[in-house]
Amino acid sequence: MNIRFKTKRLIAATAIAFYLGTPFSASAEEAELETITVTANKTEENVREVPISMTVLSDVTLEDAKIESVKDIADLTPNLMLFEHPGLGVATTMRGISADPNLGNSVAMFVDGVPVLGLWGFDETLMDIERVEVLRGPQGTLYGKEAEAGVINVITRAPDNTFRAKVSGDLGSDAKRTAGGTLSGPIIKDRLFAGISGKYYTKDGYIYNSYQDRNKNDREYGYGKLFVRATPSDHLSFDLVSSYTDNDSGGTDTNSMTADDPNIVQSNLTEFDKSTTASHSLKARYDTGSFVVENITAYRKHKNDVQNDWDFTQATVMHGIGRQDTWRLSNEFRVSGDTGRLKWLTGLYADNDVYEGLLVIDSSVPGFASTAYRELGGRSLGVFGSLTWAFTEKLSLTAGTRFDWDEKTFEEAARDIDLKNDYSAFSPKVALQYAVTESHMVYGTVSRGYRSGGFSPIAPEGLEPYDKETVTNFEIGSKHGWLNNRLTANLSLFYMDIDDMQVTAAHTASRVYVSNAAEASSYGLETELAWRVFQPVTLFASLGLTKSEFDEFSDAQGDYSGNTNILVPNLNFNTGVQYRDERGIFARVDLNGVGRTYLDKDNTNKRDAYFLVNAKAGYEADHYDIYLYARNALDETYNAVGYFGAYTVVSPPRELGIQMNYRF
């Protein structure tokens, strides 16, 4: 399948069509709009009044679309792709800015205020979730160094005076089995509450190792979470959230790109991926009535042991054994207030993180075997502030900035390396918004974000440090609601200028490492539409278009100026229909599409565009639900052929299953 578009013309045509079809008159029915509260700006706001291009997935939407982990949310989010780097975690691509596995992520993710570490954690299990907020565009003003392209916020449902209990389970293709449950309610009415949730998941792999007569990429993990809330008074609250994940799975979903059958390997190594992730946060909140004081202390630790066969043969050409141990301790203190015409927020953030990694290359080929133990550390401090001034009831201005300072260290005893470097950046933002009516809002934003610098362990001595990468974003958008919010639509157009782009560049014909070797730009649009045609039937659609290219980029292997950035699909979309009636009948069908995606800087290898159909149907009663579901119902193959110039990332096949829920 070949999907092409003229980006500038399509952006203009879409914008014109959208606005020509927008009725700006407000009827009496439109005044009764549903209120959706978000905390994108770290204060509670109506989502339709926030001048940010954002997707909000409620607990109901997550359940209806069978979104089980953070990796799945890209199906419903314009201009977001989550790509699993084999054995290296999950990288995010948003608005044309991608994460090379040698770099940190350009999208910050927070789970109940806990910042996720690098590429690890983006497969977080979603259980007992209140909502997921996806903020597109630089959010450095409030979120700092890792929010260059956007932010993903996962918010757990807080326990309260209502008792809730639920058990659920799946049976599906490839011996998939899941079992989980949630329980929450009051311990002391109005003052002390607790919630607990857990899940077990196992599924056979879909890549067969014919040499060992076993599957290569089986999956198995367990997950648990505890949420305790205390409210000593009506003004004071404390939230303690702890979670733990234990993964004991097989190898990666990869094969050699030259394999006759991508789903069959002949490996002499038993691959595995074993990891644990522990996350803890304590949030204190005091609301005086005039202003709110909040403090969040968070700790997250990830340990990972992997063993991979990178030659996929019966010989020991290249086997990799890796151990990683990384943790981060962070604290954020902030104060906010709202006087009616003026809303303000200021805060201070600090963190400390450590990464320890061991990589052993086992090989019978002379010169291939190696052992490397490295330690990378970091400390950072951020000071930020933002205010929104309402000139009139309809026109308001938001302005803010943040100063971040980062210190990075790199040690490798075998090569006698002991380095330290520091980086700093300002991340300002200005947004102007105008409420045309109570149901229609337009806005314009200029913002700046950055990805911190660091060290490239694979670089030759003296060339390990690389500098920060910065992004300047220009954006206009609008948010609309008609028919008493039965029909809603959002649109945003953006242009981003990327300076000192961090890339893996070749500095000799065969030696590559991270440096600031490129300048780039990215532009496109995002639009979302939902229409409840009548009570049982809802239609929905979303579309993201992105053109992201290197303005200047050359190295010892070639000139890539004008090429598309890696792991950036030129489009993604979701469209579908959902039916739910009072008799308990439920049905939903989603069509998801992803455009052509290049896997290397010279745009030689790519994953072709593809469509996936997901479906779910069943019966919902007062205390139980039962569904049949299908993911990738048409069994579409969408392998990424040529990853790292040598590998095929094999796409998962169709999954059919039955899901059961019981509520007490």
Our CA angle for 152, 82, 540, nearest 5°, is: 75
pLDDT value of position 158: 95
Judge whether 204 lies within some domain: yes
Q: Of 117-131, 177-191, 265-279, which has the strongest mean pLDDT?
A: 177-191
pLDDT value of position 1: 41
CA distance 81 to 77: 8
**Cβ-count burial of 20 within 10 angstroms (0-12 exposed, 13-18 middle, 19+ buried)?**
exposed
CA distance 342 to 358: 52
For residue 5, pLDDT beyond 60: no
pLDDT top residue among 186 and 369: 186
Question: Which tens digits make up the pLDDT trace of 235-259?
Answer: 999 999 999 999 999 988 999 999 9
Q: How many domains does the chain have?
A: 1
Judge whether 1 lies within some domain: no
Judge whether 274 lies within some domain: yes
The alpha helices in 419-569, defined as continuous H runs, are none
For residue 154, pLDDT beyond 90: yes
Q: How confident is the model at residue 101 (pLDDT cuts 50, 70, 90)?
A: low
pLDDT value of position 102: 64
pLDDT value of position 234: 93
Q: What is the DSSP secondary-structure string of 523-563? A: EEEEEEEEEEEETTEEEEEEEEEEEEEEEEEEETTEE-TTP
Judge whether 2 lies within some domain: no
Judge whether 128 lies within some domain: yes
Judge whether 559 lies within some domain: yes
Q: Is the pTM value of this prediction over 0.95? A: no
pLDDT top residue among 289 and 287: 287
For residue 327, pLDDT beyond 70: yes
pLDDT value of position 86: 67
For residue 12, pLDDT beyond 60: no
Q: How confident is the model at residue 103 (pLDDT cuts 50, 70, 90)?
A: low
pLDDT value of position 29: 37
Overall average pLDDT of the 41-61 stretch: 91
Q: In sequence order, what are the residues at sequence separation of 6 or more whose Cβ sits closer than 8 angstroms to the Cβ of residue 272?
A: 248, 249, 250, 251, 305, 306, 307
Q: How confident is the model at residue 100 (pLDDT cuts 50, 70, 90)?
A: low
Overall average pLDDT of the 280-303 stretch: 95
Determine the structural domain holding residue 170 and report its residue range: 7-663
pLDDT value of position 24: 34
Closest CA to 475 of 168, 137, 156: 137
Both tokens assigned to 288: 């005086």
Tell me how far CA of residue 565 lies from CA of 96, 447, 542, in angstroms: 7, 21, 23
Per-state percent for the chain, helix, strand, coil, to nearest 5 = 5, 60, 35
CA distance 297 to 330: 6
pLDDT value of position 457: 82
CA distance 527 to 406: 36
Host H or E run for residue 19:
helix 7-20
Question: Which tens digits make up the pLDDT trace of 263-286?
Answer: 999 999 999 999 999 999 999 999
Q: Positive or negative CA dihedral for 7, 12, 17, 21?
A: positive
> Which of 423-432, 462-471, 604-613 has the least mean pLDDT?
462-471
User: Which domain CATH number covers 418?
Assistant: 2.40.170.20
User: Are the CB atoms for 48 and 438 separated by under 8 Å?
Assistant: no
